[in-house]
Amino acid sequence: MFTERPLTVQKTRIDELIDADRSLTRLVYAYVATGTVWLVFGTLVGEYLGLKFVWPDLGVEPWLSFGRLRPVHTNVVLWGWSSLGMVGLALWVVPRTCQRALHSVRLAWVALALINAAVLAGVVCLASGVNNGGGEYREFIWPVMGTFALALVLLAYDLYRTIAARATEEIYISNWYILGAFLWTIVLVTTGYLPWLQKGLGNTVIQGYYMHTGVGMWFTPMVLGLTYYFLPKLLNKPIYSYSLGVLAFWTQMVFYTMIGAHHFIFSPIPWWIQTVAIVFSVGMLVPVVAGTGNFLLTMRGSGSTIARSYSLPFILAGVIFYFFVSTQGTFEAFRSLNRVWHFTNFTVAHSHLAVYGFVVFLVWGGIYALLPRITGREPPQLAVGAHFWLALVGVLTYGFALMIGGTLQGESWLHQAPFIDSVSLMAPYWTGRAVGGTLMFLAHLIFAWNVWTMRPAAAPEPAPLPAAARAEAA
């Protein structure tokens, strides 16, 4: 007899419905849902910007122009989508690992409103042509970024009080990273906006520090902290080495802070700052290898569990991207390679592989792990699979198109060809980027639908799982 071969591996349904506080469930969902709105909006803008490289005269309006929308795209996906997604998950992980209720749910709602207000105001400012000097990720003018920073202060206080009141003796490693990220980000945003530091060439020194630690001391530690919770939880086994996590924490803090100037190699900022940045870029291999090694060794031998999970494939992909993109960053800092790749589209590939491949995949892993367990509603299996593969193939297409194109761009400059050659030769690679970007955007539409399907039930009691599903879970 012909037996039908299934298209997909049957995913394991959730086997436990966490008896979460409904107010916390609604809070977490509100962070994820508003973040998802920013994801769809921000990547729609990104998709449109990518098409402009293929058709430069597509939409000639001031508020549709590349120069105004580029910062809209980057700031929305960073401060809107990624930040809200991470904070939403953290608001659940921290109380859970402390075995205490969140100190104040109301404070977290206020912070949510402030972040959304800041991102919305920032978008309006940038689209109408008000840009805070054009330093990357620092384009929101100070009243707007001040609103965002205020939300971080409220959240840091809320989480600190929760951790201080913990029922466990030890502070779980996730909370090292998560609250550390809040404290570091408050410092770096303050440093990036203090008026008497931003002048002359000194502003460029600050910009290197700001743009780099903005990624490295906010997004990186947040998602690492979340993964230190979700990965062992989903695999139902302890993390491979707690000590490696601690080592990576301290080395992350010391090494990552020192390397911002590697965005300004060969620039007129002091040569010693550039050299320090290069040396510590190599040093970054320590926390990266410690972190990825720890996660991969935890996953070792659990291949079938990963294949049968909704969320673990996202986490696995995110961890591999973390290793790849961090190592790539170290290489980009070397003067010998920097002279080829700096100023080219290679950097654009790198930043997308980092923020998207690494940070966003880990955020998605956390969302698919958590939401069904606290709302009792699972997304359709096919839709999660489509989301995963479209996003993965999309970002790889995007990344490799621009890595190849960027290298050719750098080679063209090295050979001192006329500048316009480096524009013309990019045409196929910009088309490749647009194709990859389209796949990514489609993935986000599906993700948004999945978030909707995982919404908390309106009824006071979350819908219980069918008994059949529970039996299947073994």
Partner 1 sequence: MRLDFHKNHRLLYGVALFGYVALTLLIAVGPALWVDAHNAPLPGSSPLTPEQLAGLKVYVDEGCLYCHTQQVRPLPQDQPFGRPSVPGDYARLRWLDAWQAPAMILGTERTGPDLSNVAERQPSEVWQYMHLYQPRSVAPASVMPAFPWLFRVEANPAPDAVVVPVPPPWAPAAGRVVATARARALVAYLLSLKQTPLPGGAGMAEAGAGAAGAPAGGASPGGGAGAAAPAANGAAVYGSICASCHQAAGQGLKGVFPPLAGDPVVNAPDPTEQIHTVLFGLQGKVIGGAHYAAVMPPWGTQLSDDEIAAVIDHERTSWGNHGPTITAAQVAALRKAEAPAGGGGGGGGGGRP
* Residues 211-240 contacting partner 1, CB under 8 A: 217
Nearer to partner 1, 199 or 300 (CB): 199
Show the site string, 170-199: x = touches partner 1 by CB under 8 A, - = not: xx----x--xx--xx--xx--x-x-x-xxx
- Footprint of partner 1 on 386-405 (CB under 8 A): none
Nearer to partner 1, 300 or 415 (CB): 415
Nearer to partner 1, 184 or 361 (CB): 184
User: Of the candidates 101, 266, 304, 471, which one interacts with partner 1 according to CB under 8 A?
Assistant: 266
Cα angle 355-376-98, degrees, rounded to a multiple of 5? 65
User: Of the candidates 2, 16, 167, 416, which one interacts with partner 1 according to CB under 8 A?
Assistant: 416
Nearer to partner 1, 145 or 390 (CB): 145
- The two tokens of residue 365 are 């892993």
The reply to whether 438 sits near partner 1 by the rule CB under 8 A is: no
Residue from 422, 366, 408 nearest 174 by CA:
366
> What is the spatial distance between Cα 424 and Cα 405, in angstroms, rounded to a whole number?
11
Q: 152 with 189: CB under 8 angstroms?
A: yes
User: Of the candidates 423, 457, 471, 473, which one interacts with partner 1 according to CB under 8 A?
Assistant: 423
Which residues 6+ apart lie within 8 Å of 354 measured at CB? Answer: 215, 321, 325, 326, 329
The reply to whether 418 sits near partner 1 by the rule CB under 8 A is: yes
Residue from 298, 343, 335, 336 nearest 316 by CA:
298
User: Of the candidates 42, 46, 71, 214, which one interacts with partner 1 according to CB under 8 A?
Assistant: 71
Distance of CA 140 to the CA centre of its chain: 19
Buried-exposed string 39-75: b where 16+ CB fall within 10 A, e elsewhere: bebbbebbbbbbbbbeeeeeeeeeeeeeebbbbbbbb
Number of other residues whose CB lies within 10 A of the CB of residue 241: 15
Nearer to partner 1, 309 or 351 (CB): 351
Distance of CA 276 to the CA centre of its chain: 26
Span near partner 1 by CB under 8 A; candidates 250-258, 372-380, 394-402, 444-452: 250-258
Span near partner 1 by CB under 8 A; candidates 4-12, 260-268, 317-325, 366-374: 260-268
Q: 373 with 17: CB under 8 angstroms?
A: yes
The reply to whether 203 sits near partner 1 by the rule CB under 8 A is: yes
- Footprint of partner 1 on 46-65 (CB under 8 A): 52-53, 56-57, 60-62, 65
Q: 372 with 379: CB under 8 angstroms?
A: yes
The reply to whether 452 sits near partner 1 by the rule CB under 8 A is: no
Span near partner 1 by CB under 8 A; candidates 107-115, 256-264, 282-290, 378-386: 256-264
Nearer to partner 1, 30 or 206 (CB): 206
Q: In the bound complex, what is the minimum distance in angstroms from residue 119's beta carbon to partner 1?
A: 18
Span near partner 1 by CB under 8 A; candidates 14-22, 341-349, 431-439, 465-473: 341-349
- Footprint of partner 1 on 348-387 (CB under 8 A): 348
262 exposure class (CB count in 10 Å sphere: 0-12, 13-18, 19+): buried
For tokens 């990547």, the residue is: 43
Q: 200 with 206: CB under 8 angstroms?
A: no
User: Of the candidates 12, 23, 104, 267, which one interacts with partner 1 according to CB under 8 A?
Assistant: 267
User: Of the candidates 96, 103, 263, 352, which one interacts with partner 1 according to CB under 8 A?
Assistant: 263
Nearer to partner 1, 94 or 315 (CB): 94
- Footprint of partner 1 on 87-146 (CB under 8 A): 129-136, 138, 141-143
> What is the spatial distance between Cα 369 and Cα 367, in angstroms, rounded to a whole number?
5
Which residues 6+ apart lie within 8 Å of 326 measured at CB? Answer: 284, 285, 288, 354
The reply to whether 302 sits near partner 1 by the rule CB under 8 A is: no
The reply to whether 268 sits near partner 1 by the rule CB under 8 A is: yes
DSSP state of 61: -
User: Of the candidates 233, 308, 339, 377, which one interacts with partner 1 according to CB under 8 A?
Assistant: 339
Instruction: Tell me how many residues contact partner 1 (CB under 8 A).
Output: 88
